Amino acid sequence: MKWRLLDIDTPETFEAACGREKEMGEKAKLRLQSLMSKGYRLVDSGGKDRTSDRRALVRVVLSDGRDAGRILVKEGLAQPWPNKGNRWCDARWRGN
């Protein structure tokens, strides 16, 4: 099953718009894997994304109760959704 995290946008790894986006996407993926390695549960919203894959929209709740998506945003590895552009490739976002 494929799923998408609710309320966040992470950098792309497959069709990245620039090298920095791909690099940050890899970091985000590894960080999420690390967070989930200590235990998690998925909270399914019941919704689906608009892509052809129709991925389930979920929250990843870690074993300590924290929302993994919020952690990624706080650490600069994701941005809130809906997003305000590609912060990883757009020079206006550098340093944020």
Would you mind telling me the total number of residues written for the chain in this entry? Answer: 96
Domain segments of the chain: what residues?
3-93
Indicate whether 11 pLDDT > 90: yes
pLDDT tens digit sequence for 23-77? 999 999 999 999 999 999 999 898 888 888 888 999 999 999 999 999 999 999 9
Indicate whether 85 pLDDT > 70: yes
Indicate whether 95 pLDDT > 60: no
| CATH class of the domain defined by 3-93 | mainly beta
